[in-house]
């Protein structure tokens, strides 16, 4: 049970064997995109894997749709500037009844740790420790999704 979720997306390069490819023009990456929603401890609550051209907002909504039954207690969703448009906030409100908070940077081109945003980045770093996940080697998006689930299961087992 969680009342606070943090959402973000990560673009991952594909290998030659991957069937599903897209191009994320913002990151200049050809591959897939992992959209995750984690709690304040960095544990996974919702995930979607799409081709890289899918926007962060659309991918986050897919992740929320997939796991909406388990997110009934969510009251607030924290996101970065990529999720700033009003249709995203309204869709989250309709699906979960949760408010969207946007964590904005104070000044352009300066580094500052944005409170609570580092948690989702740490979750992505945990995934990067799994050698198979640093690059998308899978042909199907569903296989990539299952390997991410397995990686988080291993993290949970190690934490117990």
pLDDT at 106: 62
Q: What's the rounded Cα separation, in Å, for the pair 73 and 108?
A: 35
Six-digit token string for 8: 């973000």
pTM of the model: 0.89
Domains observed in the chain? 4-104+114-159 (3.30.420.10)
For residue range 124-133, what is the model confidence (pLDDT) as tens digits?
999 888 888 8
Per-residue confidence (pLDDT) for residue 103, from 0 to 100: 82
Cβ–Cβ under 8 Å, residues 100 and 6? no
Ramachandran assignment for 9, one of left (phi > 0), alpha (psi -120 to 50 degrees), beta (any other): beta
Q: Which residues of the chain have pLDDT under 70?
A: 1-2, 105-115, 160
Query: In the prediction, which pLDDT does 112 show?
Result: 61
Phi and psi at 45, nearest 5°, equal -125, -25
Residue 21: is it exposed, middle or buried by C-beta count within 10 angstroms (0-12/13-18/19+)? middle
Q: Which residues pair with residue 151 across a beta bridge?
A: none
Q: What angle do CA 63, 21, 38 make, to 5 degrees?
A: 25
């Amino acid at each position: 049970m969680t009342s606070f979720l943090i959402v973000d997306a990560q673009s991952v390069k594909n290998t030659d064997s991957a069937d599903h490819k897209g191009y994320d023009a913002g990151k200049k990456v050809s591959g897939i995109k992992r959209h995750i929603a984690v709690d304040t401890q960095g544990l996974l609550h919702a995930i979607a894997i799409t081709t890289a051209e899918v926007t962060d907002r659309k991918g986050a909504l897919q992740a929320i749709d997939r796991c909406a039954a388990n997110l009934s207690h969510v009251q607030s969703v924290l996101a970065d500037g990529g999720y700033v448009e009003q249709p995203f906030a309204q869709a989250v409100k309709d699906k979960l009844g949760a408010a969207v908070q946007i964590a904005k940077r104070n000044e352009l081109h300066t580094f500052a740790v944005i409170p609570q945003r580092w948690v989702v980045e740490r979750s992505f770093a945990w995934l990067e420790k799994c050698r198979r996940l640093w690059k998308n080697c899978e042909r199907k998006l569903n296989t990539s999704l299952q390997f991410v689930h397995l990686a988080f299961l291993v993290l949970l087992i190690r934490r117990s």
